[in-house]
Structure 1
Amino acid sequence: MDVKQAIQSRRSIKHYDPTHQMTEAEIEELMSHAILSPTAFNIQHWRFVRVQDMEKRQQILEAAWGQAQVVESSLLLVLCADLNAWEKQPERYWQHAPKSAQEMILPAIENYYTNHHQGQRDECIRSASIAAMNIMLMAKAMGYDTCPMDGFDFDKVARIINLPHDHIIIMMITVGKKRQDAWPRPGQLALEDVFVTDTF
């Protein structure tokens, strides 16, 4: 399946075959492509929590107000981001770059993020959201369906996964084999309603 097909056929699926299991090799393939998504300054803020323990999944089901895909899907991911990744050994993110690039970028990271709390949060949300799309399109290419979720109690899920104090949850994604199609697309806005040139 090419990228165009994946984009056109990807839908948010709510009902999965609960008996289907993804192999470890499939999960590794999926996630190894998730981490190829771009991030500001190559900081790679995203952190992906795979919730495998069924007791934890049941707790998340309650926090997600009974949405069955939480327990029926083959893979449940909580997409998080480290707000302070920018200051945690940032040289790691540029270790293979030329020294001239390191000398330019590393001070720029510090200058941009120091005391810029809104910027830290915004970049985390942008970066994890881009990674989410990588996950969903790659899953579709592998023959799986997905659903991005923000319909849950973020604080409860944070406690369930023991989220560090300097991390935030961006969304959850379910991955699996659908057992029921999504509704027909409910109504796309016309391209000319959302795509403008130069100015509104």
Structure 2
Amino acid sequence: MDVLEAIRQRRSVRKFDPSHRMSEAEIGQLMDHVILSPTAFNIQNWRFIAVRDPELRAEIRKAAWGQSQVTDASLLLVFCMDLKSWEKSPERYWVNAPAHVSDSMVREIQHFYRDDDMLQRDEGMRSCGMAAQTAMLAAKAMGYESCPMDGFDFKRVGHLINLPPDHRICMMLCIGKPLAAAHPRAGQLELADVFMQDGFPERDD
């Protein structure tokens, strides 16, 4: 599927065929594309948990206030961020670059993120957001639908997946075969309402 067509057709679907599961090859294909998503300084600070165990899925569904897509989707991914990826052997992110480039980038990474907890979290949110969009478009191109989620108890899900102390959850993503089409778009703002040239309009006050 053409990427522009995938963007046009992608919708959030909540009713999935619970009898369908993606093959290992399909999951591998999906994730091989997801990890091509961009990250600042190439720190690759996303971490992805595929929840396969039915009992664990059932517990996560409870933490998501009973939303059926958590257990019925073919694949449930929890998108997490490693807040300290910037200091965990950062030279590995530039292992294929010339030595002088690698050395420079490692210094920049450490200078940029050190002592700035808010920036570390914000960077993780940006990275996971881009990875999730990649996953949704890749899933659509593969013939699947998806549903991004933040309607769940983050603390409870973190406990269930044994989230490390220096990690945070960004969101979950359900992917699978739909049982019903998405509802019509509820209301799309006009492009002119959200797209401006060179800044926001001058304010009278």
TM-score (norm 2): 0.97
Match of residue 20 from structure 1: 20
Match of residue 151 from structure 1: 151
Q: Tell me if structure 1 keeps the 8 A contact 2:83–2:168.
A: yes
Aligned-CA RMSD value: 0.5
The one-letter amino acid paired with 2:184 is: P
Q: Secondary structure at the match of 2:187?
A: coil
The one-letter amino acid paired with 1:107 is: R
- Superposition pairs of residues 1-200 of structure 1, within 5 angstroms: 1-200=1-200
Q: Tell me if structure 1 keeps the 8 A contact 2:13–2:178.
A: yes
The one-letter amino acid paired with 1:63 is: A
Consecutive unaligned residues of structure 2, counting only runs of 5 or more, are: 201-205
Q: Tell me if structure 1 keeps the 8 A contact 2:16–2:72.
A: yes
What do residues 126-163 of structure 1 show as CA deviations (whole Å, max 9, x unaligned)?
00100000000000000000000000000000000000
Q: Secondary structure at the match of 1:123?
A: helix
TM-score (norm 1): 0.99
1-structure distance, mates of 2:25, 2:89: 30
Match of residue 203 from structure 2: none
The one-letter amino acid paired with 1:151 is: G
2-structure distance, mates of 1:198, 1:156: 43
2-structure distance, mates of 1:81, 1:21: 26
1-structure distance, mates of 2:21, 2:117: 40
Q: How many aligned residue pairs are there?
A: 200
Q: Tell me if structure 1 keeps the 8 A contact 2:91–2:103.
A: no
1-structure distance, mates of 2:11, 2:25: 24
Q: Secondary structure at the match of 1:186?
A: coil
Runs of 4+ in 1 over 4 A off after TM superposition: none
Deviation, structure 1 residue 181: 1.2
Deviation, structure 1 residue 100: 1.8
Percent identity of equivalent pairs: 56
Deviation, structure 1 residue 103: 2.1
1-structure distance, mates of 2:199, 2:167: 36
